[in-house]
Structure 1
């Protein structure tokens, strides 16, 4: 997918990534630190993470097409390099979302009941929680850095720093 309705697909698909990666990260941390949230989210958590994961290579592919159709400069190359690093973070979000969902499924609804993985065990929750927070923060920071570099690449010489005196904005 390279064009959508005549526009480069990357500029549209990027919004899916910019929304879904932080949303997945937030849902993951919430579910990891609050087992009741994991049970309530159910399979929605890994499904959300899967859609976010799938959006990353689609957006990257569309971005590679766009890169071949714009003038190359250091800002575009930097954005491309950063963009290539998001897939491992998205994969980590998905893997942890699957673990949290599975553990939430297997955990007893009430403390003290038997069954499944000991999700309520403090050491397990701490390890999974720390991993979820670390991967989530890494993914969100990476999305920010990629987006910031993309905005700089797209806009660095595309506007005037002083008002142009157009008929709609002046006094």
Structure 2
């Protein structure tokens, strides 16, 4: 499905940084765009493309993580990390769906407003009917928060799996 090694290193340890950056960035962009709809017009197609890249990065990272899990010893911390990792895709899929819906509704709103007042053209502010806006804000906040919290939980468990017993609590003397 994707790379398992990059330059001789397990791809998971590199790809995870993409997920750690893109999931919160996408969540923040979505919430900002649904609250301040003028941002939606400014970002345009960048918003759903960002959400798509974020969505694709999750199974690539998970696949690379499963490969790495099969090349590690049997460790309960690694198993817990893998189980948490499997739980991210539904959150990010929801984030993607809501992002595309918000973008599409915003685009339709701007097109309709521009048709009604052609002299304003592309500067038309996106407006949603109040029930749609409330639903969009609620869904955006739920999937944004869920995605970010899940990324945190996965990252925390991954750090514990990678670093438990991997360092000394006291400084190590390196006298030569």
What is the TM-score when the length of structure 1 is the normalising length?
A: 0.91
Structure 1 runs of 4+ with >4 Å offset: 109-115
CA distance in 1, matches of 2:116, 2:68: 54
From the two aligned structures, give the one with the greater helix fraction: 2
1:58-137 aligned at under 5 Å gives the runs 58-108=60-110, 114=116, 119-137=127-145
CA distance in 2, matches of 1:62, 1:98: 27
User: Could you tell me which of 158, 161, 173 is aligned with 1:150?
Assistant: 158
Displacement after TM superposition at 1:113 (Å): 7.8
CA distance in 1, matches of 2:146, 2:4: 28
Question: What RMSD over aligned residues (CA atoms) do the two structures have, in Å?
Answer: 2.1
Which residue is equivalent to 1:43?
45
- 1:71 match: secondary structure: coil
CA distance in 1, matches of 2:66, 2:105: 38
CA displacement 1:36-79 (0-9 Å, x = unmatched)? 11111111001000000000000000000000111121100000
User: Could you tell me which of 4, 21, 36 is aligned with 2:6?
Assistant: 4
For structure 2, the residue ranges without an aligned partner over 5 or more in a row are 118-125
Conserved 8 A contact 1:103-1:119:
no
Displacement after TM superposition at 1:31 (Å): 0.8
CA displacement 1:64-104 (0-9 Å, x = unmatched)? 00001111211000000000000111111111110111111
For structure 1, the residue ranges without an aligned partner over 5 or more in a row are none
Between the two proteins, the alignment pairs up a number of residues equal to 166
CA distance in 2, matches of 1:86, 1:120: 29
